[in-house]
Amino acid sequence: MLVLRLLNVVAPAYFLCISLVTFVLQIFLFIPSMFRDPSITPLFSPALLHGALFLFLSANALGNYVLVIRNSPEDLGKGLNLGKGAEVVTDWLDGSRSPGSALPSTHFCRLCARVTQRHDHHCFFTGNCIGSRNMRNFIMFCLYTSLACLHSLVAGMTYISAALSMSFANPLAFLTLLPHSISQFFSGALLSSEMFVILMLYLWLGIGLACAGFCCHQLLLILRGQTRYQVRKGMVVRARPWRENLQEVFGKRWLLGLLIPVLNVGSDYRRQKEK
């Protein structure tokens, strides 16, 4: 339990550190050095377009990250007569106790010390539980984080290709880049800044693929009307059309939430269902 609480503090700091390093490399190294063409007007220069795209992806990733933290799942235990003392907490530790059919997939999180409805999982990188209130922002956070990492990967490969005069036309060139760079670094033929960028390339690739896979997995569960907690516990879910399942999470104004970080896009639909 102590290790989990420590991870709950370290993981968000690690994400913010990686985001800051990515921002600095993109703005002060990749974009100014890679795209210099005097024949192109400044308004339509590749540097400006790539910079605008990166800022758009980063703003959405960071904005949805903040909204996931601020829009925490509601504590259902405050409005329910669940008893008093440690006995209640003990009953909720395994997530097996439910107040009734009106509260599906209700779960007590030991890290958040909250009883939440439609609990999906506890995200260590946000230090928060993912539930009905912040699921849409969490998916958008994963999506834009993946896109920002893959964009940084392409920009970094372009920078390394120009700095080391090498080509990535052969797919094996990227796989052999790290061991070849390590040998050059210890022999003094490679600068520390270039070695750092190469290490960041593999980190961006791993984070980008992980976030993309996690986002696709969450979307498949939403289409089926399930959460990860329900799948893990083997709970039976009432079959509904996939459009209703998507609308419950993303709301009718899904396009607005896709372009800019907004709060509770799907709340209007849930209020209508409750009425």
250 pLDDT band, cuts 50/70/90, is confident
Q: Does 202 map to a domain?
A: yes
Strand pairing category for 107-109 and 114-116: antiparallel
Is the same domain home to 205 and 154?
yes
Q: Does 129 map to a domain?
A: no
- Give the predicted TM-score (pTM) of the model: 0.83
Is the same domain home to 173 and 254?
yes
Instruction: Please tell me the total count of domains within the chain.
Output: 2
Higher pLDDT, 257 or 97: 257
Is the same domain home to 47 and 158?
yes
For residues 215-228, give the mean pLDDT: 92
Q: What is the mean pLDDT of the chain?
A: 80
Q: Domain limits at 92? A: 74-118
pLDDT at position 84 is: 40
Q: Does 60 map to a domain?
A: yes
12 Cβ contact list (under 8 Å, min separation 6): 124, 125, 126, 127
Is the same domain home to 156 and 222?
yes
Q: Does 123 map to a domain?
A: no
- Beta carbons of 45 and 35 less than 8 angstroms apart: yes
Least confident of 25-39, 79-93, 160-174: 79-93
Is the same domain home to 84 and 185?
no
74-101 confidence digits (pLDDT tens): 655 554 444 443 344 444 444 444 443 3
For residues 254-262, give the mean pLDDT: 83
Is the same domain home to 48 and 97?
no
Cite the active site residues: 123
Is the same domain home to 49 and 78?
no
Is the same domain home to 104 and 181?
no
